Amino acid sequence: MPIPDNIKREHIFRAMLRTHREGIPPRRKAKDWVVLQDGSKYPCKLLISWANEYANGEELDSNPNVFTTHMAMKYLEHLGFTIEKI
Protein backbone atom coordinates (compact mmCIF):
# COMPACT_ATOMS: atom_id res chain seq x y z
CA MET A 1 0.00 0.00 0.00
CA PRO A 2 1.50 3.35 -0.93
CA ILE A 3 1.73 6.37 1.31
CA PRO A 4 -1.27 8.62 0.58
CA ASP A 5 -0.15 11.40 -1.73
CA ASN A 6 -2.21 14.03 0.05
CA ILE A 7 0.22 14.11 3.00
CA LYS A 8 1.90 17.50 2.72
CA ARG A 9 4.73 19.31 4.51
CA GLU A 10 2.25 20.99 6.85
CA HIS A 11 1.05 17.56 8.04
CA ILE A 12 4.64 16.49 8.68
CA PHE A 13 5.28 19.65 10.70
CA ARG A 14 2.16 18.96 12.77
CA ALA A 15 3.46 15.42 13.41
CA MET A 16 6.79 16.92 14.53
CA LEU A 17 4.97 19.18 16.99
CA ARG A 18 3.13 16.14 18.32
CA THR A 19 6.45 14.40 19.05
CA HIS A 20 7.47 17.44 21.11
CA ARG A 21 4.19 17.29 23.08
CA GLU A 22 3.90 13.53 23.52
CA GLY A 23 7.40 12.20 22.93
CA ILE A 24 8.31 9.30 20.69
CA PRO A 25 6.72 6.01 21.74
CA PRO A 26 9.46 3.51 22.70
CA ARG A 27 8.55 1.02 19.98
CA ARG A 28 8.50 3.78 17.34
CA LYS A 29 12.04 5.09 17.82
CA ALA A 30 14.21 5.28 14.71
CA LYS A 31 16.60 2.40 14.16
CA ASP A 32 18.59 3.60 11.15
CA TRP A 33 17.23 6.80 9.58
CA VAL A 34 15.86 10.10 10.89
CA VAL A 35 14.52 13.37 9.56
CA LEU A 36 16.62 16.36 10.62
CA GLN A 37 14.69 19.56 11.26
CA ASP A 38 15.88 22.57 13.25
CA GLY A 39 18.36 20.50 15.25
CA SER A 40 15.86 17.77 16.14
CA LYS A 41 15.70 14.19 14.85
CA TYR A 42 12.46 12.39 14.07
CA PRO A 43 11.68 8.79 13.05
CA CYS A 44 10.65 8.73 9.38
CA LYS A 45 7.87 6.17 9.71
CA LEU A 46 6.39 7.80 12.79
CA LEU A 47 6.15 11.15 11.03
CA ILE A 48 4.34 9.59 8.08
CA SER A 49 2.00 7.62 10.34
CA TRP A 50 1.06 10.63 12.43
CA ALA A 51 0.93 13.02 9.46
CA ASN A 52 -1.67 10.75 7.88
CA GLU A 53 -3.87 11.36 10.90
CA TYR A 54 -3.87 15.08 10.08
CA ALA A 55 -4.34 14.51 6.34
CA ASN A 56 -6.81 11.62 6.40
CA GLY A 57 -8.22 11.28 9.90
CA GLU A 58 -6.40 8.15 11.03
CA GLU A 59 -2.90 7.04 11.91
CA LEU A 60 -1.29 5.08 9.10
CA ASP A 61 -0.38 1.55 10.19
CA SER A 62 3.42 1.31 10.35
CA ASN A 63 3.45 -2.42 9.61
CA PRO A 64 6.03 -3.11 6.86
CA ASN A 65 3.22 -4.66 4.80
CA VAL A 66 1.64 -1.19 4.68
CA PHE A 67 4.75 0.93 4.07
CA THR A 68 8.47 0.61 4.67
CA THR A 69 11.10 2.94 6.10
CA HIS A 70 12.56 3.26 2.60
CA MET A 71 9.17 4.41 1.27
CA ALA A 72 8.86 6.92 4.12
CA MET A 73 12.35 8.27 3.48
CA LYS A 74 11.71 8.78 -0.24
CA TYR A 75 8.39 10.49 0.46
CA LEU A 76 9.93 12.82 3.04
CA GLU A 77 12.83 13.65 0.72
CA HIS A 78 10.31 14.42 -2.03
CA LEU A 79 8.70 16.91 0.39
CA GLY A 80 12.10 18.56 0.89
CA PHE A 81 13.13 17.11 4.24
CA THR A 82 16.69 16.05 5.07
CA ILE A 83 17.23 12.40 5.99
CA GLU A 84 20.27 11.20 7.94
CA LYS A 85 21.60 7.76 8.87
CA ILE A 86 22.05 7.32 12.62
Q: Would you call 49 exposed, middle or buried from its count of C-beta atoms within 10 A (0-12, 13-18, 19+)?
A: buried
- What are 23-52's pLDDT values in tens digits? 999 999 999 999 999 999 999 999 999 999
- What are 55-69's pLDDT values in tens digits? 999 999 888 888 899
- Provide the pairing of β-strand 40-43 with 33-37: antiparallel
